[in-house]
Chain A
Amino acid sequence: MTAANRSSILSAANLHKHYHMGGQDLHVLRGVDLSITPGQWLAIVGASGSGKSTLLHLLGGLDRPDQGDILYQGQNLRSFSTAKLDHYRNRDVGFVFQSYHLLPELTALENVLISAMIGWGIFKWTGPKKALRQRAIELLERVGLGQRLTHKPSKLSGGERQRVAIARALINTPALLLADEPTGNLDVDTGQQILEIFKSLRAEGQTIVMVTHDPRVAAMADYRLTLDHGKVKTS
């Protein structure tokens, strides 16, 4: 373990990932290394197909690398059991997607709470229920949706949906906030509002890893990591 790894919250070394599509072998990541320290905002940039989202999915425990290691607070994700990886995604990571991925049957408040519910069994839920509900309301108020608690996603605008998704990602106070093109589906003004939220989160010490292809968005991050054909591009 290097000194960099010891101080980082998340690091990756020599990550490789292949996909088989249409009878072809796609080598999407070709030996990616990175290190993120607590409170850092890292932007992963690159052209479409450069492997940005794949890297984010590996860091978030949604997939496993074919080769290489990911260390989270000193623990290798490769050694995690399926259950531990599920727990990692639930408690240590918060995802924000380009397409929001809210559950259409649930209200804004329930969409935020569902992430907390997943972490608690049906019988244990009654204990923290009140506190978590209060936290969900506060998070929605913080992103400006205090008046939209009972609205379903279909009744919300794109920007509002993304704000619900951010609140959902934060409900379990994760150490890492992973965002995949969070402004990709939004107009410039609305996108700016979302980025302001990320900025304020960064100011509070939240570690953020954001995938974007927009240089203006990437410019707001502390550091940028450029991927080119599955490799980190050194500038």
Chain B
Amino acid sequence: MYKLLLILRYLRRKLAPMFAVLAVMLCTAMVIVVIGVMGGFLEMMRQSVRTLSGDVTIISDVTGFPHYDDLITELKKLPEVQAAAPLIRSYGMINITGKVVLVEVQGINPAQMDEVTNFSGTIHWKNKHASDELSRFRLNEHVDVEKYAADMQPPSKGWNKPANRRGMITGIEVNPWETRDDDGNYHFDRSPVGIDARVTVMPLDPETGNLLATGPAVQTLTVVNEFKSGLYEIDSKRIYLPFDVLQKMLAMEPQDIADENLRPTGEKTPARASEIVIRLKEGANLETSAQKIRETLMRFSLMRRDMPATAALTWEQRHGQFLGAVEKEKGLLVVLFAFISLVAVVMIGVIFYMIVLEKTRDIGTLRSLGASRMGVASIFLGYGLAIGLIGTVLGVALAASIVWNINEIQELLFKLFGFKMWDPRVYYFDRIPARLDQTEVTIIAITAVLCSVVGSIIPAWLAARLDPIEALRYE
């Protein structure tokens, strides 16, 4: 009982325990904030990657594979599969307002793609403001900008385009003229929406993999909208074309089969796609579902001699290297900050040692009153525990208030000092993605309390082995 009384009283005294609490608080908060920001960053990247690429993807090489429609029909028979959509992935160039940018060109059917990924969610210009702006800058009549994204078709009247003109959707960072303001906002007047751009791709012979004799395929399309996934690597290097347009450009649509004398036989090659993106039903296990898809794919391929080698990869397998790098960075930072936090342990040790020195006579008094060595040690260990608990609770509270308001804090710092921690023009996301994970916070909190106790072990041991007579005489 006397230990508890003394611990409570020692906590209420002067500056020393306050510094110890402050050390624990700051170290706890520092580690939680770092993990919160890095974890939020990783989580956001995982979400972005998953919503963009679906759960499982069937891939082959860049020349693609045939019978994709039949394969989709087979895949949809699996109870785990929610939806599947064909996709063509190629690489090419876009000549946009005189600047040529190397891009990944994807051919998609927006409606189908939307069933598998969050495609429509990534369309940037879709609010009324954008429509109004589009009407003001580009048209004489009011239009719905989102409609053109869904159709991938520019309005033939207002924009004064040829009737057969098709539209495309470009990544919001693809257009080199489109820059964000300091707050990271895009402005419609700088966007390429309504502008024509030329896309060049390389059609390949599916048999040899060589460039076709017809050479590169070039087509002019109108930018009907822009997409923003939040991942800079994608937003700056990807454009979407209508599936049929890209299929034709890459000569992946049904082709006439010629005989030995190069005369058409009247038969056609099947149309090809380079990928099938699959969305699983809610709650379906990723790995087991992927395995079932692989089995279906194998059966399907065995029955068709013209099917090239294909593979079914989960989204984690496809982007493992990219996400793994961020995960490693997170781990590295946590280790570094944990090392820094050892400072708190040393600091508590030093502060407690000073308290033990200051309390030497009291220790002698307690021993003379019958307190055991263990009892004296328990006072300082309990004191360390109490300081750890208080510091940790305050540290978690501080970290939570920082993590939950990190963007507001950043804005405040910017207003006060012109200092910007997070430049949305540089990073993947506009806002600092931070989140608190209950398990991580619990582990850090327990570690912080343990560290405080560890920091107090040596001073507690020194207090316990003090000779009571010398302690009573201590000046």
A interface residues with partner B (beta carbon < 8 Å): 57, 60, 62-63, 82-83, 86-91, 95, 97, 101-106, 110, 114-115, 117-122, 125, 168
Contact A114 B369 (CB under 8 A): yes
Contacts beyond the supplied A62-B472, A102-B365, A114-B366: 13 A-B pairs with Cβ under 8 Å? A63-B468, A63-B469, A83-B372, A89-B367, A90-B371, A103-B362, A104-B362, A105-B13, A114-B369, A118-B2, A118-B366, A118-B371, A122-B3
- Name the contact of A91 in the complex, choosing from B4, B370, B371 (C-beta under 8 A): B370
The A-contacting residues of B in range 369-389, CB under 8 angstroms, are: 369-373, 375
Contact B1 A117 (CB under 8 A): yes
Chain B neighbourhood of A115, CB < 8 A: 369-370
Provide the bound-state CA to CA distance between A168 and B362, in Å. Answer: 14
A1 to chain B, nearest CB (A): 27
The A-contacting residues of B in range 343-370, CB under 8 angstroms, are: 361-362, 364-370
Chain B neighbourhood of A95, CB < 8 A: 368-369
Contact A62 B5 (CB under 8 A): no
B interface residues with partner A (beta carbon < 8 Å): 1-6, 9-10, 12-13, 361-362, 364-373, 375, 468-469, 472
Q: Given known contacts A57-B469, A106-B5, is B370 in contact with A118 (CB within 8 Å)?
A: yes
Contact B472 A105 (CB under 8 A): no
A102 to chain B, nearest CB (A): 8
Contact A82 B468 (CB under 8 A): no
Chain B neighbourhood of A110, CB < 8 A: 5
- Name the contact of B1 in the complex, choosing from A83, A103, A125 (C-beta under 8 A): A125
In the complex, the chain A residue whose C-beta lies closest to that of B364 is: A101
Contact B469 A89 (CB under 8 A): no
In the complex, the chain A residue whose C-beta lies closest to that of B475 is: A99
B227 to chain A, nearest CB (A): 65
User: When A and B form their complex, which 6 residue pairs have the shortest distance between CB atoms, in order from nearest?
Assistant: A90-B370, A105-B9, A117-B2, A125-B1, A101-B365, A89-B370
Contact A105 B369 (CB under 8 A): no
B370 to chain A, nearest CB (A): 2
Contact A121 B1 (CB under 8 A): yes
Chain A neighbourhood of B6, CB < 8 A: 103, 105-106
Contact B10 A118 (CB under 8 A): no
Q: Given known contacts A122-B1, A125-B1, is B370 in contact with A101 (CB within 8 Å)?
A: no
In the complex, the chain B residue whose C-beta lies closest to that of A126 is: B1
A217 to chain B, nearest CB (A): 21
Provide the bound-state CA to CA distance between A191 and B1, in Å. Answer: 33
Most B CB within 10 A of own CB, among A87, A103, A119: A103
- Name the contact of B372 in the complex, choosing from A62, A86, A122 (C-beta under 8 A): A86
Contact B370 A119 (CB under 8 A): yes
Q: List 21 A-B contacts (CB under 8 A).
A: A62-B468, A62-B472, A63-B468, A87-B370, A90-B369, A90-B370, A95-B368, A95-B369, A101-B368, A102-B365, A103-B365, A105-B6, A105-B12, A114-B366, A117-B5, A118-B370, A118-B371, A118-B375, A122-B1, A122-B3, A125-B1
B475 to chain A, nearest CB (A): 10
Contact A120 B1 (CB under 8 A): yes
- Name the contact of A106 in the complex, choosing from B3, B9, B370, B373 (C-beta under 8 A): B9
Chain B neighbourhood of A91, CB < 8 A: 370
Chain A neighbourhood of B366, CB < 8 A: 103, 114, 118
Chain B neighbourhood of A120, CB < 8 A: 1
In the complex, the chain B residue whose C-beta lies closest to that of A117 is: B2
Chain A neighbourhood of B367, CB < 8 A: 62, 89
Provide the bound-state CA to CA distance between A95 and B371, in Å. Answer: 13
Provide the bound-state CA to CA distance between A90 and B370, in Å. Answer: 4
Contact A62 B2 (CB under 8 A): no
Provide the bound-state CA to CA distance between A90 and B4, in Å. Answer: 18
Chain A neighbourhood of B13, CB < 8 A: 105
Chain B neighbourhood of A60, CB < 8 A: 368
Provide the bound-state CA to CA distance between A194 and B13, in Å. Answer: 31
Provide the bound-state CA to CA distance between A105 and B359, in Å. Answer: 11
Chain B neighbourhood of A101, CB < 8 A: 361-362, 364-365, 368, 472
B158 to chain A, nearest CB (A): 83
- Name the contact of A97 in the complex, choosing from B5, B12, B472 (C-beta under 8 A): B472
- Name the contact of B368 in the complex, choosing from A87, A89, A117 (C-beta under 8 A): A89
In the complex, the chain B residue whose C-beta lies closest to that of A58 is: B469
Contact A122 B375 (CB under 8 A): no
In the complex, the chain B residue whose C-beta lies closest to that of A103 is: B362
A145 to chain B, nearest CB (A): 19
Provide the bound-state CA to CA distance between A82 and B368, in Å. Answer: 13
Provide the bound-state CA to CA distance between A24 and B6, in Å. Answer: 38
Chain B neighbourhood of A106, CB < 8 A: 5-6, 9
Provide the bound-state CA to CA distance between A82 and B373, in Å. Answer: 9
Provide the bound-state CA to CA distance between A117 and B193, in Å. Answer: 81
In the complex, the chain B residue whose C-beta lies closest to that of A169 is: B369
Q: Given known contacts A57-B469, A63-B469, A101-B361, is B370 in contact with A86 (CB within 8 Å)?
A: yes
